[in-house]
Amino acid sequence: MQEDSYYATYLSSKTNERIVVTKDDARIAIIAQRIAEIESRLPPLQITSTDSDSSALKNIKIGVNEFLQDRDAIGSRLAQLGVVGYSTFSGLKAPDQRAVAVSQYLPNETRDYIIRLAGELGFKHYTIFDNVEEEAEEEVLFGSYGGSLRTIARSA
């Protein structure tokens, strides 16, 4: 339901009950509407690294699928964020989905950051995996093949 002065007037006319909207409430509604209009015109937020993000990524082992056509661009972005190097991996064919796998052992903040980064890099899905059980040295796999995929939320 809308919470603005127009809707309040509509309810008042339909229910014959007097509904009072203060000037402050009306102003807040107008300001909120203007903010929403401005936000809808802004481009999507770009992730910028902070010292804590960069230091967290430096200690993470990352793999990039050889079949990804933009693997060099992914590597460049990782380097911008302070990642010194990454390994490559592949299966018999390119992955069906554009997904990233993130180790369940990473701290939640780091995991969330990597998922946002993956969204920035054009990945649509992510999965949480047990790299210890799978005997994978990497804690993050860009271009992963399977698992229970979840959709990466797009920030606006």
111-150 pLDDT, tens digit each: 999 999 999 999 999 999 999 988 889 999 999 987 778 8
What tens digit of pLDDT does each residue of 62-113 get? 999 999 999 999 999 998 888 888 999 988 998 988 999 999 999 999 999 9
Query: For residue 70, what are the contacts with CB-CB under 8 A and spacing of at least 6?
Result: 121, 122
pLDDT on residue 120: 92
Closest by Cα among 136, 155, 142, 138 to 74:
142
51-151 carries CATH number 3.30.70.2390: yes
Q: State the Cα–Cα distance between residues 151 and 100, nearest whole angstrom.
A: 10
Closest by Cα among 68, 56, 82 to 142:
68
Q: State the Cα–Cα distance between residues 85 and 63, nearest whole angstrom.
A: 9
Closest by Cα among 120, 115, 67 to 89:
67
CA-based end-to-end distance of the chain: 22
Q: What number of other Cβ atoms are within 10 A of residue 113's Cβ?
A: 21
Domain ranges of the chain: 5-41, 51-151
Mean pLDDT, residues 1-22 taken together: 64
Q: How would residue 153 be classed by pLDDT, with cut points 50, 70 and 90? A: confident
pLDDT on residue 23: 87
Residue in the structure block whose two tokens are 């000037």:
23
Coil, strand or helix at 101: strand
Closest by Cα among 136, 118, 134 to 126:
118
Mean pLDDT, residues 24-38 taken together: 86
